[in-house]
Structure formats: C-alpha cells, structure tokens
Amino acid sequence: TKDVIWTYQNDSAGENVLYYDVDPIGEDRLLFVEETPADDGTAILYDWRADEPIERFSVPSDTHDVDYLGDGQYAVADKYNHRAYVYDADTEEVVWEYYFANHFPEYPEAGEAPSSQPSGAGGYTHLNDIDAVDNGSAFLLSPRNFDRVVLVNRSTKETEWTLGEEDNYDILKEQHNPALLQQDPPVVLVADSENDRVVEYRRHENGSWEGTWEYEGRLHWPRDADRLP
C-alpha cells in the first residue's frame, strides 16, 4: 500500500497557500517555504515526526529556494529582489548578499533592478535556485531569465564560471534547479525547462562545456532533476 504518513497544512491561512522547495534536513526535519495571502513568505524548519515547527523566519515574496547551511544560517534565492543572500536566524541578520545588477549590468532590465529596490517578481533574473558549494564557500545560482547557471565565490562575489548564454537555447532555456554533481571537472545536472529535457554538462579546462547526457522523453517543462545514489 502507498499511505500518506505525514501532512502539513496551514488551515488558518485559508485558500491560495503556496509551498516551495521541500528539503529533508536529516531524518526528522524538513525545510520549506510557505506563502499565504497575508504574508510574503515564511521559511519553516519543521520536525515532521514531532509535528511541530523548530524555526520560522520571513523571506521575500515568491522565494523559490531556501537551503540550510548549518549553525543557524540559511541561503536564500531572493527572486523578488534579484539577489542571493545568507540569513543568520540566531542574530536575525542578513550576513551576506549578492545583487545580480551589480555584476551583470549588461543584461536586459539590469537598469530596472538596482540594489536599492526590486523591479518586481520575475523580471530581470527570475532567480529560482541556490545551492551551497564547498561548505558554503561558493554558491551555485540559477537566474532563469539569463539562460545560464552561475557559480559565485562567496568571499569575492566574483563569477568562477557560467554554464549557458542568454538566448542561446541550444545550451539552456529558462532552466531550473541545477545540481553540481562533481567539481573537478565541474559536472552539472539541470532541468532545462523550456527545452523540455534534463541535461548533464561537463566543463573542460579551456572553459567550454560538453553535453554528456540528456533525457527528452515525455517531459513538459521539467523543474527539477536529482541524481540518486
């Protein structure tokens, strides 16, 4: 039999509650984002076995991804403000942030998304994913509207490498949720959403990328891909 063993639902929030990015943290905890008509968004660390929240904090509207870094810190893909940032729940402070407009001014709409204010959800970047690399020393980012995946050094905020080119749809087209499978050489698995496929790329020493695997069968706008053990 296939039984549902646990369910979370915010009955007090009424209808139109949205949930994003459910991540297991160990065996007992789940991390996800809840957005209700009354609140922009709330990241919730939840003990599903005890059926009680452990930690909650606010995130911007339409936040698609929050990842736990350890020691009370969380990496947030802030789609609304076109930035990535790290939030320390213990001190209730943003301890690191990266605005795309400060690093990719050549992209369309960059002038509409200065670091001081948002240009609205979606628009400029449509940032939909953030993954910590090397114990949080770098972040793998997925600005969907750039048609590319970006690895950013946390200390310097410099771009270490990119996969894809804007409007070069032979590589990626409005991707979601890339995963760095290995680092030397870099191998990236990504849901190539608007191309209706999942692809894997390997980076050569000269900086070029080679497609090493793909799946296109019966997919429609895939938004995630994970390699299992």
Q: Does pLDDT of 121 surpass 60?
A: no
The band of 154, judged by pLDDT with boundaries at 50, 70 and 90, is very high
Least confident of 3-17, 79-93, 150-164, 166-180: 3-17
Task: Return the closest-CA partner of residue 192 out of 175, 206, 210.
Answer: 175
Average pLDDT (39-68) is 95
- Dihedral angle sign, alpha carbons of residues 216, 181, 159, 32: positive
Percentage, residues of the chain above pLDDT 70: 93
Please tell me the predicted confidence (pLDDT) of residue 34: 96
Average pLDDT (77-106) is 94
Asked if residue 83 lies in contact with residue 98, where contact means CB atoms within 8 angstroms, the answer is yes
AA identity, residue 84? A
CA 218 to chain centre: 25
Q: Does pLDDT of 108 surpass 80?
A: no
Name the residue with higher pLDDT: 62 or 120: 62
Task: Return the closest-CA partner of residue 181 out of 205, 202, 209.
Answer: 202
Alpha-carbon span 38 to 134, nearest angstrom: 37
Task: Return the closest-CA partner of residue 193 out of 160, 164, 155, 152.
Answer: 164
> Looking at the DSSP assignment, which residues form a beta bridge with residue 45?
31, 55
